[in-house]
Amino acid sequence: MATIHRTTMTPGKLELITGWLPKQSWYAGSGETPDLVKAGGFRLDDPEGEVGIEFMVVAEAAGQEPVAYLVPLGYRGAALEGVPDEALIGTSEHGVLGTRWIYDGAHDPVVLAQLRALLRGEAKPQQQSVSDAPDPTVIVHGADAGAGADQGADVRINRVLRASEAEQGSPGSLVAGWTWPDGTAVRGELAAVASR
């Protein structure tokens, strides 16, 4: 199980994401520096204990309507080889673990493998800020029925999140909640097995 360290990261995660997000093709803002707040998320455990895995939801309140983004994060103790340069969100000095390389989880093979395991019902979502604490609010639909997320299945990560009134997601989908900057709690689909 991953241990959540009560320590500092310099620069912090939100600071790194703020600089990285506007450069992404799916960013819905105006290209200016976004004003982001942490809005939700969860963690997964790396069975090898080497990579920290976090699915962070950040919200931007600027503009006419708030926008929520899903940023999967892979925290590593060394640079990851064989990924595009834009996969690196940045490096940060962790108060306990030292230098951490923080990657966009969509390019991190360990993050993607554990997301597939979650969609198969073989991994348990963990609370974002508490060690060894399952998060029952993160729901995978159809995991017990074999949603089709085999070892090499493509997974669609919804980068720009949309709130959904329906609690029932499509088979092989991951549904979780986040909180808008005004305090409204909503839920929506974060990821799903990609149809072939």
pLDDT of 129: 82
pLDDT of 194: 83
Residue 123 has pLDDT above 70, yes or no: yes
Question: Which of 28-42, 137-151, 162-176 is the least confident region?
Answer: 137-151
Residue 146 has pLDDT above 50, yes or no: no
Cis (ω within 30 of 0) for the bond into 11?
Answer: yes
Tokens read off for 54: 């976090």
Residue 144 has pLDDT above 60, yes or no: no
- Average of pLDDT values for 171-180? 93
Residue 151 has pLDDT above 80, yes or no: no
pLDDT of 145: 44
Tokens read off for 167: 């609690």
Give the torsion through C-alpha atoms of 107, 49, 9, 7, to 10 deg.
160
pTM of the model: 0.89
